[in-house]
Structure 1
């Protein structure tokens, strides 16, 4: 398995490039990461934003850590973005990703992404409105792919999410999105699939398994988020806790499907109240469990 680390575990804790690089490399032993926008907000003034983001990028490279992509985090996920009910909000969602593309380019990172967004409660129940907003979202992603290419990016990523009011949520939705964008964008748009999102029986029933996702849209999957979950809620627990995902299952899936180029990014979200030393110890213990089956 090719293991990487989403930096969600570190938000509000280990801030600054040199400090973060030490935690990643010396304490946890990772050499590839996915940078989260919870550390640097794409909407900050560009000069200041890019200087702060650049400090992370430079420190990581100095420590031998590759940043494979940048990705929306908790703060970004709060908003409806491309599927919002008003044009003003959808335009702001478009600006959000454009700003993130610019920040990613300043970091000299080649891929950026986020979930597409969420419909309002009313629009989610209106098939015609959903389709109208979806078509507008496709146009926006095509336009942003043009901008991303001009800034030197090579890939845009979209994450399926476990809510029927969002898109894509199911593997079939994800396949539709990929086919609608395939060949229309200036750079490839691919999927980042979260194991905890995909394995959600309340929404997907018997299809709540990664084999179904791999069979349905595997050709478009660029990378994965891995997390522990109980299948009841989107937990983002670590593998030190019991649940329906195990390191052994991750390794078996990787080997059986002959994966080589994708990365498993460990994406763990801790309560802000949890002490830093407990978080770091838990991350170390979970990493040992994953390395044992790698």
Structure 2
């Protein structure tokens, strides 16, 4: 199976292209990464943002590491973006992804992605409002995909999330989004499916399996996030902890579905107060476990 790292583990710790690239290539022995916007914010002033982002991209390339995509992180996820309740907030959400596309292009990385966004508490329980805002989100993604093509990107990614107040949450909602956008955008919009989200039992019940997601939207999944979890919360634990997933389960799934073009990006989020040395040793141990199957 093809393993990579979402760089979420590094935020607030290992900053700067040369430092992080050396750690990824030499200490974690990884050749594929997904760059998190928590390292460089797309909404920073463009000239400074792109200079910093290019520094990371250049250093990773020199270290023999491929940045396959850039992706929204913790900071980005706190906002409602293009599912927000007001036109002003939705416009800011659209601008956020547009800025991320520009940053990704400056890095010469082919794909960028994030969760679609969050409805407000009131809109989430109002079917008419959900539908109205969803239709506007589709229009926004058509425009954003056009901009992505103009900037040289080849794909946009959307991550389903395990909250009923967001979209898409379920595999069925993800299928609706994919079919509504398929053939309508200048670059394809595809899914980044997180194992911990897809297997969220409180929301999905018996459908909280990766087999169900593959059955419903397997043809639209371009990449995966992997994490250890308990099926009760979106833990983003490492595989050094016990939970519902083992490296063998991941390997068997990969082989059973004959995956080859996707990447398993390990996406681990540590408490900020965790000592750096503990984080690094834990990441080393987890990558060794994942490579062993």
Counterpart position of 1:274: 274
Q: C-alpha distance in 1, partners of 2:110/2:205?
A: 36
Q: C-alpha distance in 2, partners of 1:216/1:165?
A: 21
Q: C-alpha distance in 2, partners of 1:166/1:249?
A: 28
Q: C-alpha distance in 2, partners of 1:256/1:144?
A: 35
SS in 2 for 1:149: helix
Q: 1:250 offset after TM fit, Å?
A: 0.4
Q: C-alpha distance in 2, partners of 1:251/1:158?
A: 24
The two structures have a TM-score, normalised by structure 1, of 0.99
CA deviation digits over 1:40-64, x for unaligned, max 9? Answer: 0000000000000000000000000
CA deviation digits over 1:158-191, x for unaligned, max 9? Answer: 0000000000000000000000000000000000
Counterpart position of 1:3: 3
Q: C-alpha distance in 1, partners of 2:279/2:132?
A: 44
Q: C-alpha distance in 1, partners of 2:6/2:24?
A: 10
Counterpart position of 1:45: 45
Q: 1:8 offset after TM fit, Å?
A: 0.1
Q: C-alpha distance in 2, partners of 1:244/1:159?
A: 21
Counterpart position of 2:107: 107
CA deviation digits over 1:186-232, x for unaligned, max 9? Answer: 00000000000000110000000000000000000000000000011
Counterpart position of 1:131: 131
For the pair 1:197 / 2:167, whether they are aligned, the reply is no
Q: 1:65 offset after TM fit, Å?
A: 0.4
Q: C-alpha distance in 2, partners of 1:199/1:166?
A: 16
Aligned residue-pair number? 293
Q: C-alpha distance in 2, partners of 1:201/1:28?
A: 32
Q: Structure 1: 5+ residue runs without aligned partners?
A: none
The two structures have a TM-score, normalised by structure 2, of 1.00
Q: C-alpha distance in 1, partners of 2:63/2:288?
A: 21
Counterpart position of 1:142: 142
Q: C-alpha distance in 2, partners of 1:263/1:292?
A: 17
Q: What is the correspondence of 1:38-117 to structure 2 with a 5 Å cutoff?
A: 38-117=38-117
**Runs ≥4 residues deviating over 2 A:** none
